[in-house]
Chain A
Amino acid sequence: MNTRSHYDVAVIGAGMSGLAAGIRLAHFGKKVCIFERHNAAGGLNSFYSINGRKFDVGLHAMTNFVRPGVKGTPLTKLLRQLRIDRDQFALCEQKQSRIAFGPRGETSLRFTNDFAVLEADVAEKFPAEIDGFRKLVALVRSYDDVSLDAKPESARAVVRRHVTDPLLEDMLFCPVMYYGSATEHDMDFGQFVIMFKALFLEGFARPFEGVRLVIRVLLEKYRSAGGERRMKCGVQRIVERDGRATALVLDEGSEVTADHIISSIGAPETESLIHLGRAAAGEGEPPPANIGRLSFVETITILGRQPDEFGWGSDTIIFFNDSPHFAYERCADQVDPRSGVICFPNNFDFGPERMLPEGVLRVTCLADYAHWANLSENHYRADKARWFATVQRSARRFLPAVEDSALDAATLATDMFTPRTITKFTGHFGGAIYGSPVKHRQGRTELSNVYLCGTDQGFLGIVGAMLSGISMANYHILQKG
C-alpha cells in the first residue's frame, strides 16, 4: 500500500455541496480531498458538450436571488461563508415567470423577483383567498427553515389552514415541488418554506454563461484555498471499524484514509458504500432503503432564432399543469406530460445588446426510472424520440402558438435526458434528482465520522446545496476545532 494517503477530511462528490464543504475546510487549514467519479464537476448541476455545443443540465436558474444590499438570506450567507464576491457570479435577473394551470393555461399566476407581482396576481385571480395567502406568507417569512432539528409537519395541512381553494393550493405547490421535492403528493413544511422563499420571496437569476461559471468560481476558490481534487476517481466502498469509517477504497482499488468523510452522493448511495464495505469484509447486508421515487426527463431544443422571434421572449420559466389536480407522483407510464416546467435560458436580463448566441427551450416532466432503466439501446432511443415529441407538444400548449414547420425549420439540435442518464452521470439511485424522501438534517449516518451533505441533508436548490455543504463542514468539523 505505498499509494496510501491520509486526509483530515475526504469529500465524496464534486457537486455544489461537496465543493462548498471543501472550500470551507480548506480555507481553515484542513487537509481535504474531493473524490469525483465523473470527469466534470458540478454533480446534478453540470454541463456537457455535443459537437462543440455546450448543454447545461440541472440548473434552470439560480434560485434565492436577492439584490445587493439584502442581507441575512441564503445567497448572502453562502457568499460570506465562501468568501466569494457576488460580482463573481455576475447574476442576471429573470424577466418573469408563470404558473399556468388548465388545459391551455387558463389560470395563470405571474411572478418576478419582486414579490408584489405574485401577491397582486393572487389578489386578482383569487380575491377570496388573498387574506389567507398573506397570512401564509407571514408564517413562511417568520419560519426558521435552517434549523437542524425542526420536527416534520405536512405542508399541505399547514397551507390548507390558510388557503381554501384547491386550485390555488396546487398552483403554489407546483413550482415548489418541481424545484426540489423528493416526496410525492406532499412535503415537509420546512422544505416548503425553503423553496417558497427561494422561488417567490427571493427569486431567479443566472450568470450569462450559465452553471459553468458557478462551477468555475467554486473550483478556483477551492484550489486557491489549498484543496485537492481527484477526478474520474470514484469511491467504491467505505471500510469501517467499531462504528467509524477508517478508509475509502477507490474505484481503481487503492485506499485512502481520512479522519472525517463528508458524502454528497445521497443517503441511500452512502449507505450502499458502507454496506459494500461490509460485504467485502464478508458480512451480508440489506439493500439500501428509502430510494427516491421521483425522476424526470428533460428535452432541450437549440434554436437558430431567439425565443422572442416566436413570441416566447417574456417568460423565463413556466410551471404548467393541464389537469384538474396537480399530480406530483411517480407516474404510471415512462413520462407524465400533464405537468412540467418550461425554461428559456435566453429570457434573463443579460443587459443591452447581450444575448445568448442561440435560442434554447428546455422542458422538464416527471418520469419513472423503472420504465427506462432496462430498455435495449434501440428501444431506448426510439422511446426517447417518441417522448421528446410528446413532451414538447404538451409544453407548447402553454406558450403562444407557433407553426410546427417554423419551429422545425429553426431547430438546430435537440437532446434529452432521462432517468437513466441521471443515474449514469450522477450515481443517484432511481434517477432521483432530489434524492431520498427521507432527509437527514444533521447529516448523520450509521458511522460516527461519516456525514451527509447535499440533497439528502435537506437544504434544497443550488444555493441550498452549497449551504448544506457549508453547514455540515461547520457543524461536524470546524466548530469542533
Chain B
Amino acid sequence: MTKDECKKLVLDIIADIAPDEDLSNVKPEVRLRDQLQLDSMDFLDIVMELRKRHGIEVPEKDYVQLASLDSCAEYLTPKFDALAGKN
C-alpha cells in the first residue's frame, strides 16, 4: 500500500465520522485537530473504525501517531502491509 492510499483510507473514515467537516483541503502535514473540529470522541472513533474496517489495532500509547495525515500514513502503512502479507 502506498502512503497516499493509506491517507485516503483515513480520510474515508473521517468523512463518515464527521460528515459536517469539509475535507477537500486537508493539509497532510498539519495536525488534524488544528484544521478540523475533531474532539477526543472523534479520535477514539478513528481508532475503532480502523479496527472494525481493517483489523488494525492502535494501542492507546500510539494515539499521538494519528495526529496528522502524514503521521497516520507513516504509522499505519506498515501495519496495513503487515496484514496484507499475512493473507
Contacts and interface: CB of A to CB of B under 8 A. Distances in A.
Contacts of A83: 16-17
Interface stretch (B3-11, B37-45, B67-75, B78-86): B37-45
Interface string A216-236: 000000000000000000000
Contact of A28 (B16, B41, B48): B48
Contacts of B20: 68-69, 71, 76, 79-80, 86
Interface in B25-62: 37, 39, 41-42, 44-45, 48, 52
Contact of B18 (A29, A80, A479): A80
A85 B48 contact: no
Contact of B48 (A76, A79, A470, A478): A478
A85 B19 contact: yes
A478 B49 CA distance: 11
A81 B39 contact: no
A72 interface: yes
A445 interface: no
Contacts of B41: 77, 80-81, 470, 474
Given A71-B37, A77-B41, A81-B45, A29 B52 contact: yes
Interface string A61-78: 000000011011000110
Contacts of B16: 83
Number of chain B interface residues as a range: 10 to 19
A347 to B, nearest CB: 28
B5 to A, nearest CB: 24
Contact of B17 (A80, A85, A474): A80
B56 to A, nearest CB: 13
Contacts of B52: 27-29
A28 B44 CA distance: 12
| Chain B interface main SS type | helix
A81 B43 CA distance: 11
A479 B44 contact: yes
Contacts of A86: 20
Interface string A345-371: 000000000000000000000000000
Nearest to B60: A479
A24 to B, nearest CB: 9
Contacts of A76: 20
A226 B21 CA distance: 27
B18 to A, nearest CB: 6
A71 B18 CA distance: 10
A32 to B, nearest CB: 15
Nearest to B40: A474
Identify the interface centre among A69, A71, A86: most chain B CB within 10 Å of its CB: A71
Nearest to A479: B44
B12 to A, nearest CB: 13
A223 B77 CA distance: 34
Contacts of A72: 37, 39
Nearest to B49: A28
B41 to A, nearest CB: 6
Nearest to A71: B37
Contacts of A29: 52
A76 B41 CA distance: 12
Nearest to B18: A80
For the complex of A and B, 10 pairs with smallest distance between CB atoms:
A71-B37, A28-B48, A80-B18, A72-B37, A80-B17, A28-B52, A29-B52, A77-B41, A81-B41, A478-B48
Interface of B: 16-20, 37, 39, 41-42, 44-45, 48, 52
Interface of A: 27-29, 68-69, 71-72, 76-77, 79-81, 83, 85-86, 470, 474, 478-479
Given A29-B52, A72-B39, A79-B20, 18 more contacts: A27-B52, A28-B48, A28-B52, A68-B20, A69-B20, A71-B20, A71-B37, A72-B37, A76-B20, A77-B39, A80-B18, A80-B19, A80-B42, A81-B45, A83-B16, A85-B19, A470-B41, A474-B44
